[in-house]
Amino acid sequence: MSSHVLNRSHLLLSRSRSTVAAAAATASRHSAWQGTQAVPADPILGLVAAFKADAAPRKVNLAQGAFRTDEGLPLVLPSVVEAERRVSSALASGAIDKEYLPIEGDATFRTLSAKLIFGDESAALAEGRCATLQTLSGTGAVSVAAAALCRMAGARTIHVPDPSWGNHGHIFRSAGLEVQNYAYLDHRTGTTLDFDGMRAALSGLPRGSVVLLHACAHNPTGIDPSGEQWQELAALFAGRGLVALFDSAYQGYASGDLDADAASVRAFEAAGVLPVACQSYAKSLGLYGERIGAVNFVCASREEAEAVLSTVKQTIVRPAYSSPPLHGARLAAEALAPSTASVSAPAGGSTPLSPRRQVLGDAALFAQWRGELRGMANRVHRMRVLLADALRAEGAPSPDGGDWGHVVDQIGMFAYTGLSASHVDSLRERRHVYLTRDGRMSMAAMKPADIEYVARAVRSVLAE
């Protein structure tokens, strides 16, 4: 037999053995995920990906809630840059290290965060009745709160405004809570608050019902109750024994005033309600990627607060992620402290501002941050005014029959335009302007250079 024939026989045999081995390996390989079906992309993050893939020479991304400069660039606040410098200097000198934080987080950050939302006059803080934990931004805060309400308080249902942030439902269902909606947006206009419907719905809830409230700058509508309406709601919650879960993602960023944006939470505490308040510093400090937030449980006594803190730590946080992020908490604590004189330890925590943390808590940096917050809020409001003026100049009919005044009157980073899902689809497909399908437009991402283009695009789809 020739060498050519032998070589060919060996090659065929080798291939046959490889095929058999591969088939055997495939047959014996069992995947635990073989029944898993792909799910649709996140409605907001999916739009961001679609925008990036869009090859159109002119396109505008108004879908994602992230602040941009007038030039459309991400902003790192100067106060945060200074905080980074201080933390880096302290690290280089050996004054601080990179060890784990406690399960509940950085004591200084927790104390300052609770004080920021409840204020100097808070009885709960003065009496040590608030259990505060550092969390993985606002999403983590709401997740921890939901788990605690379900496992520790026995909640089975949570009542959420219609509409609400898209991720709220996912968070609550993952925690084991049934989600029910209560009236919020007046669907007759699509741009105003249905306060009568909201009050009627909440008045009919059983005692002990858990209700989600947006502390300020309601997402997605940008429509908040008035100060008087918040006072009325606080009295309603106190009288009916309802549990208030506040999501505060925009304190200081909504109106430019830290105290005004926390007035709802403070009104509830003053009325005798024991709220749960969730905080995020993604927007107000621009710490999107640092994942810094807090959850605050106001309790009936110091002993109860300490029990809540220890239980949340050991049964919810420890099994989930053990310890929150260190670096972002240091940055936030730099900016959050107006002074160090009146800061007291949180419930169950060690005394803050130890010698290793004297770098934290600077009045000048806090004042600088407050000024930057006002600047961001003012820029967003300016974009609202410019857009409304441009829409009027284009002759675009407002979906609510008005003159686009609702775009100016709303608060926070989003404008709830009143555009339908079909209008939004047409904007994206024909004009390459990206909004979420409920008509929510990110005014924080709007550039002055895009105002006229967006207004013209809106007019064109409304005329179709």
Residue 184 falls inside a structural domain: yes
State pLDDT tens for residues 144-178.
Answer: 999 999 999 999 999 999 999 999 999 999 999 99
The verdict on pTM exceeding 0.85 is yes
Mean pLDDT of the chain: 91
Provide long-range contacts, Cβ within 8 A and 24+ apart, for 457-460: 457/427, 457/430, 457/431, 457/433, 458/391, 458/394, 458/396, 458/417, 458/419, 458/423, 458/427, 458/433, 459/391, 459/394, 459/395, 459/396, 460/430, 460/431
Residue 64 DSSP label: S
267 and 225 Cβ atoms separated by less than 8 Å = no
Question: What's the confidence (pLDDT) of residue 187?
Answer: 93
Residues 210 and 351 in one domain: yes
pLDDT band at residue 29, thresholds of 50, 70 and 90? Answer: confident
| Active-site residue, 403 included | no
| Active-site residue, 165 included | yes
What integer is the mean pLDDT of 209-222? 98
What integer is the mean pLDDT of 194-221? 98
292 and 134 Cβ atoms separated by less than 8 Å = yes
Segments forming the whole domain that contains residue 139: 79-361
Question: What's the confidence (pLDDT) of residue 343?
Answer: 46
pLDDT band at residue 354, thresholds of 50, 70 and 90? Answer: very low
Ramachandran angles phi, psi of 378, nearest 5°: -65, -40
- Dihedral sign computed on CA atoms, order 228, 234, 237, 238: negative
Residues 257 and 381 in one domain: no
106, 224, 247, 438: which one is catalytic? Answer: 247
pLDDT band at residue 450, thresholds of 50, 70 and 90? Answer: very high
Residues 386 and 340 in one domain: no
115, 224, 283, 404: which one is catalytic? Answer: 283
**pLDDT at 341 > cutoff 60:** no
165, 230, 369, 404: which one is catalytic? Answer: 165
Residues 390 and 338 in one domain: no
**pLDDT at 404 > cutoff 60:** yes
- Dihedral sign computed on CA atoms, order 228, 169, 51, 191: negative
pLDDT band at residue 362, thresholds of 50, 70 and 90? Answer: confident
What integer is the mean pLDDT of 19-23? 53
**pLDDT at 20 > cutoff 90:** no
Q: Say which CATH number the domain at 168 has.
A: 3.40.640.10
* More confident: 246 or 337: 246
Question: What's the confidence (pLDDT) of residue 6?
Answer: 47
Cα atoms found within 13 Å of the Cα of residue 458, Cβ hemisphere only: 30
In angstroms, the CA 239 to CA 236 distance is 5
Last residue of a domain, one of 299, 328, 361: 361
Tokens 């249905």, residue located: 194
Residues 299 and 401 in one domain: no
What integer is the mean pLDDT of 48-54? 94
Residues 53 and 169 in one domain: no
Residues 69 and 89 in one domain: no
Last residue of a domain, one of 337, 361, 385: 361
pLDDT band at residue 378, thresholds of 50, 70 and 90? Answer: very high
How much of the chain exceeds pLDDT 70, in percent?
A: 89
Backbone conformation region of residue 245, classed left if phi is above 0, alpha if psi is from -120 to 50, else beta? beta
Report the domain count for the chain.
2
Residues 276 and 380 in one domain: no
State pLDDT tens for residues 253-285.
Answer: 999 999 999 999 999 999 999 999 999 999 999
**pLDDT at 350 > cutoff 50:** no
Residues 357 and 386 in one domain: no
Question: What's the confidence (pLDDT) of residue 43?
Answer: 84
Question: What's the confidence (pLDDT) of residue 235?
Answer: 99
Residue 254 falls inside a structural domain: yes
pLDDT band at residue 14, thresholds of 50, 70 and 90? Answer: low
If we measure between CA atoms, which residue out of 166, 216, 223, 235 comes closest to residue 191?
223
State pLDDT tens for residues 75-116.
Answer: 999 999 999 999 999 999 999 999 999 999 999 999 999 999
Question: What's the confidence (pLDDT) of residue 347?
Answer: 72
Question: What's the confidence (pLDDT) of residue 358?
Answer: 27
343 and 115 Cβ atoms separated by less than 8 Å = yes
Question: What's the confidence (pLDDT) of residue 26?
Answer: 53
**pLDDT at 339 > cutoff 50:** no
| Active-site residue, 283 included | yes
